[in-house]
């Protein structure tokens, strides 16, 4: 696959909002709000999340994922002192399950010289993807779990993760 990762710009905001909204679609079906209320809520939540990421990771790489000149997702990464943090990896629903996430994670692991970490929710269907790459849950923080793969020790990408 030929993926590229251009840095986000202001012109990407509508796409990024639609991408974020796609992650909350099932939840929005359950609330008794009209479309205007849902849109306002999603815009507010997206703005808060985006600002949190920018403030928390000022040296982060905030990128769109592009396949064949089409934006299909976002990848936010930050190299910290003792780890590489995947801040966020989200793929549009119509591109999920087609190997894009696998390619992105594989590429990050190949290049990583430090442990790779990501926070995931239990309900995130990508948990199985990260487990296949040898990620193990290292911290249970309630709603979010911190997963880690010691990339330098796992260059062949075959490490198995024992249950916690």
The residue extents of the domains of the chain are: 3-153
pTM recorded for the entire structure = 0.89
Residues 22, 93 contacting (CB under 8 angstroms): yes
Please name which of 131, 115, 141 lies closest in space to residue 163, comparing C-alpha atoms: 131
* Residue 154 confidence (pLDDT): 60
Give the neighbor-by-neighbor strand order of the sheet with 116-121.
3-4, 61-67, 70-79, 84-91, 116-121, 144-149, 136-141
> 3-state DSSP call for residue 145?
strand
Q: What is the pLDDT of residues 28-40, one digit of tens each?
A: 999 999 999 999 9
pLDDT digits (tens, 9 = 90+) for 114-135: 999 999 998 888 999 999 999 9
Count of beta carbons in the 10 Å neighbourhood of residue 96:
16
Q: Which fold has domain 3-153?
A: Aminopeptidase (3.40.630)
Residue 75 to residue 93: CA distance in whole angstroms: 15
């Amino acid at each position: 696959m030929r993926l590229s990762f251009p840095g986000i710009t202001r012109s990407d905001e509508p796409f990024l909002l639609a991408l974020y909204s796609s992650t909350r679609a099932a939840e929005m079906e359950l609330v008794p709000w009209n479309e205007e209320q849902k849109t306002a809520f999603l815009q507010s939540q997206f703005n808060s999340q985006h600002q949190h990421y920018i403030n928390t990771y000022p040296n982060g790489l905030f990128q769109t994922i592009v396949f064949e000149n089409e934006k299909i997702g976002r990848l936010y990464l930050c190299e910290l002192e003792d780890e590489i943090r995947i801040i966020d990896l989200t793929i549009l629903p119509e591109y999920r399950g087609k190997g894009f996430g696998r390619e992105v994670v594989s590429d990050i692991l190949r290049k990583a010289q430090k442990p790779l970490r990501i926070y995931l929710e239990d309900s995130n269907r990508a948990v199985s993807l990260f487990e296949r790459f040898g990620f193990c849950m290292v911290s249970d923080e309630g709603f979010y779990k911190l997963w880690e793969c010691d990339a330098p020790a796992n260059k062949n990408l075959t490490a198995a993760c024992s249950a916690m």
